[in-house]
Amino acid sequence: MLPQKQAEEAIVSNPNNETEHDGAKEEDNRHEEDQSIFRVKNLLWHGGSAWDAWFSCASNQVAQVLLTLPYSFSQLGMLSGILFQVFYGLVGSWTAYLISVLYIEYRTRKEKENVNFKNHVIQWFEVLDGLLGPYWKAVGLAFNCTFLLFGSVIQLIACASNIYYINDKLDKRTWTYIFGACCATTVFIPSFHNYRIWSFLGLGMTTYTAWYMTIAALVHGQKDGATHSAPTKLVLYFTGATNILYTFGGHAVTVEIMHAMWKPQKFKYIYLIATLYVFTLTLPSASAVYWAFGDELLNHSNAFSLLPKTRWRDGAVILMLIHQFITFGFACTPLYFVWEKVIGMHDTKSICMRALARLPVVIPIWFLAIIFPFFGPINSAVGALLVSFTVYIIPSLAHMLTYRKASARQNAAEKPPPFLPSWTAMYVVNIFVVVWVLVVGFGFGGWASMTNFVRQVDTFGLFAKCYQCKPPAPTLTPTPPKH
């Protein structure tokens, strides 16, 4: 009887024992649920690992340009097309490495001065300002912002061009209006930390599209009478070359991607690894489509226009549309940051306030996409006039000037890489990149791409309603009856 009595006394002395136990259990369950939600949110939203950076680089590198590379092959020829892809892919990886080194150098120096970047996203023009002064800041800001502006314009043009091959009841200009409104929703994505799931999905979408293009072209076979006469004209040759230069010049957002990493020092070779993966997408797809259609691509800058209409092609179009929305956000986010800093809203924590402040950035992009709806030619023009400096020339010059003094080289935060261990060798490579891109990319490429661009304006006019659309069906006029 004693144990029963003790139990009764325990209940009397603590009548809420069961309630407290249940409350503690409910609190534990709520805590576990909160932890689970937090883990899911981190999984989908907060990215800062080396894998996140790799997905961002690879996803951002191949968007709509995947569809224009067969067009470039028709201008260059098969051999030149492959060689230029490999060459500019490696050169682009080198300059991305230089940008990462300069970012680490800038951040190391600032952190020694106790500068806190907790609520501030470092951008390329700030790196140039900190290392080389205000003139370099102005040059970097001008080229980078203009490039990103037209990069966003290209995404809108590509959206309208692609959807037209599924639904041609609306013209491409009307589709540009619609997708401009859709892409404006990217103002709600705070920073590159929040592109984890989008980068992952985006790369999956371009992988599907690239292999669809390859397989569809091979299954279709070589078109009867297809010719492969390229290269035939210098204008076309250098236009195609600058489009490929643009393809592997997607690191105008490199600094922002690095800043979103938990350990930015790990970025150094990420862009190269991303480029090697991109080769597995671009080389087979461009080669196969060019083999199948040949010179016909000269008048079809979007490969979707020649591939047969099937549910597989429509699936690729839809996936590319989603990916172009993601890439629009990639290109626009640095512009959002710049605009926020100009108007003093960069430190604002309210997402809605920041989104409202960002809207004026979207309007000129929308307007330019309606004025210049030339899908392939605008890629080449942007590559020659903007990418050549933003991505290749400025980083190479900035690296040489930052480490021109022996003391700077001695105290460098990042030493030369193991595969190129001497500073002299790095200077030789940088000088080669500057001279090559200045002469071939900007010089010949600028002349060729602008000649081609002006030709498109003369042919189709500004505000073209439906660039490279199929001609309307002829209307048959009834013949009058004979009397």
User: What per-residue confidence (pLDDT) applies to 376?
Assistant: 58
Residues of the chain with pLDDT under 50: 1-38, 40, 473, 475-476, 483
Phi, psi (5° rounding) for residue 473? -65, 135
User: What per-residue confidence (pLDDT) applies to 29?
Assistant: 45
Phi, psi (5° rounding) for residue 119? -115, 25
Neighbours of 176 (CB within 10 A): 22
Secondary structure class of 296 (helix, strand, coil): helix
DSSP state of 44: H
Half-sphere exposure of 218 (CA within 13 A, CB side): 11
pLDDT in tens, 421-460: 899 999 999 999 999 999 998 999 889 888 877 776 666 5
- The structural domains of the chain, ordered by start, are 47-460 (1.20.1740.10)
User: What per-residue confidence (pLDDT) applies to 8?
Assistant: 42
Closest-CA residue to 437 (of 472, 387, 403): 387
Q: Contact at 8 Å (CB) between 466 and 170?
A: no
Residues 405-421: b if buried by 16+ CB within 10 A, e if exposed: eeeeeeebebebeeeee
Note every long-range contact of 414-423, with CB atoms under 8 Å and residues 24 or more positions apart, other chains counting. Answer: 414/101, 414/104, 414/105, 414/268, 417/97, 417/268
Q: Contact at 8 Å (CB) between 285 and 320?
A: no
Query: How open is the CA angle 45-51-52, to the nearest 5 degrees?
Result: 30
pLDDT in tens, 358-415: 989 888 888 888 877 665 567 677 778 888 998 899 999 999 999 999 999 999 999 9
Give the separation between CA 253 and CA 250, rounded to whole angstroms: 7
